[in-house]
């Protein structure tokens, strides 16, 4: 266990969270709460635990996958068979001490296990119960399986992702899963603030579908503004042009001429000032309409110099630009190190492993790794002792 940063009490210290979730959305939400100081207790099935412990097809040293390790720091683990009356009694003891429960089963599963919101609310009226599912607890799609790919497809997101006139492409990052986790975290924190005023808990629902749709700000604006569903643009932008990736002499880079000033600066850098006299490109609205024609006219120019030369020249002129890095390059960059976005976490089996750092920083109460990702049922005995001492289990 690592001491909290600077010895200051973290914002969620004293808040207990029961993580009754698996794989990504629920565990990511609970890890974020744990990073802010919450006491997160991961409730896992006996023997196998969270199914992501055995996912990904590769390992470091131990049996738990790197995916599990990436999503479960700052948690304690207890293995409970929620179909067993004895283990369910232990869970109820934990629920009476909890501020938050997070589950991500299909609608109805928690109720069948006897751990649904109404059951736990009767024991603990101040409980905040967050349910993350594929499509939410109601509506005609509610019982469909909750997978990021399906949410991206049915939300419309995939219809606007990828290259023009090519087969559908999903976003490489699972925005449905991770977006649902972020929206659930936002809902939980809001409910905690509300409970401080009223003393009452509430039910919070988030879904992969609503997260993918809720992040589709520009795309839905285009639909309602034009009456036409947006199409894939590759790396181009719906609101500005030119704003995308292009090929230099030795690779690809991106730039963003997002307003008229930047457009004119771009033309000066590349020596193509005549393009501003073309009525197809004289202002942003017509450049967006003619973006594919414009980029074809620019390609031969960009092919004459290297990525580093173009990026340096554009930045010097105030035009946003950058190389396209793979993850190895990005994680090795000086900026990534300066922002502490890679950390080493000590682990009883792995020795230590690399993990992403905290993507939001708090100046007075910085996050810290208080617990490494737990072994299955690592804290089961101590949690049972704690409940017995409080008279919550026999």
Catalytic residues: 177
344 bridge partner residues: 354
Between CA 264 and CA 287 the distance in angstroms is: 13
Q: For strand 243-247 and strand 100-103, is the pairing parallel, antiparallel, or unpaired?
A: unpaired
Between CA 135 and CA 354 the distance in angstroms is: 33
In our burial notation (b when 16+ CB lie closer than 10 A, e otherwise), range 320-340 reads ebeeeeeeeeeeeeeebeeee
Structure tokens given for 65: 């996958």
Could you tell me if 381 and 26 are in contact, meaning their C-beta atoms sit under 8 angstroms apart?
no
- Specify burial of residue 362 (Cβ count, 10 A radius: 0-12, 13-18, 19+): middle
Could you tell me if 150 and 118 are in contact, meaning their C-beta atoms sit under 8 angstroms apart?
no
Structure tokens given for 389: 């001492």
DSSP state of 280: T
79 bridge partner residues: 44
Q: What's the CA angle centered on 331, arms 329 and 333, to 5 degrees?
A: 70
Between CA 220 and CA 212 the distance in angstroms is: 12
Q: Could you tell me which residues come within 8 angstroms of residue 227 by beta carbon, excluding any fewer than 6 positions away?
A: none
Q: Which residue from 27, 350, 348, 382 is spatially nearest to 185, judged by alpha carbons?
A: 27
Could you tell me if 8 and 36 are in contact, meaning their C-beta atoms sit under 8 angstroms apart?
no
- Report the 10 Å Cβ neighbour count for 296: 9
Strand locations in the chain (E) = 16-20, 39-44, 75-79, 100-103, 128-133, 203-207, 243-247, 252-256, 321-323, 342-347, 351-356
């Amino acid at each position: 266990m690592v001491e909290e940063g600077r010895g200051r009490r973290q914002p969620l210290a004293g808040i207990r969270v029961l993580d009754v979730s698996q794989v990504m959305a629920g565990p990511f939400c609970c890890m974020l709460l744990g990073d802010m100081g919450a006491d997160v207790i991961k409730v896992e099935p006996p023997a196998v635990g969270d199914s992501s412990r055995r996912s990904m097809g590769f390992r470091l040293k131990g049996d738990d996958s790197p995916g599990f390790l990436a999503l479960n720091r700052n948690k304690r683990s207890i293995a409970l068979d929620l179909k067993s009356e004895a283990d369910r009694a232990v869970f109820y003891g934990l629920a009476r001490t909890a501020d938050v429960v997070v589950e991500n089963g299909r609608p109805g599963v928690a109720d069948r296990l006897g751990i649904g919101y109404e059951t736990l609310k009767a024991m603990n009226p101040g409980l905040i119960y967050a349910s993350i599912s594929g499509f939410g607890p109601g509506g005609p799609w509610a019982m469909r399986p909750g997978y990021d790919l399906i949410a991206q497809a049915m939300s419309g997101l995939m219809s606007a992702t990828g290259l023009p006139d090519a087969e559908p492409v999903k976003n490489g990052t699972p925005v449905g899963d991770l977006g649902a986790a972020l929206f659930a975290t936002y809902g939980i924190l809001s409910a905690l603030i509300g409970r401080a005023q009223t003393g009452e808990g509430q039910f919070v629902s988030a879904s992969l579908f609503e997260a993918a749709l809720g992040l589709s700000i520009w795309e839905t604006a285009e639909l309602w503004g034009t009456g036409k569903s947006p199409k894939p643009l590759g790396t181009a932008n719906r609101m500005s042009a030119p704003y995308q990736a292009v090929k230099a002499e030795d690779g690809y880079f991106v730039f963003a001429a997002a307003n008229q000033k930047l457009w004119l600066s771009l033309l000066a850098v590349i020596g193509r000032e005549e393009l501003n006299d073309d009525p197809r490109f004289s202002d942003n609205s017509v450049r967006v309409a003619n973006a594919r024609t414009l980029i074809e006219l620019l390609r031969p120019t960009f092919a004459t110099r290297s990525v580093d030369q173009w990026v340096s020249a554009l930045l010097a002129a105030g035009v946003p630009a950058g190389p396209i890095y793979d993850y190895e390059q990005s994680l090795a960059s000086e900026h990534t190190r300066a922002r502490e976005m890679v950390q080493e976490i000590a682990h009883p089996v792995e020795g230590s492993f690399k993990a992403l750092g905290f993507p939001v920083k708090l100046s007075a109460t910085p996050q810290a790794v208080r617990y490494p990702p737990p072994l299955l049922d690592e804290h089961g005995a101590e949690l049972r002792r704690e409940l017995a001492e409080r008279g919550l289990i026999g």
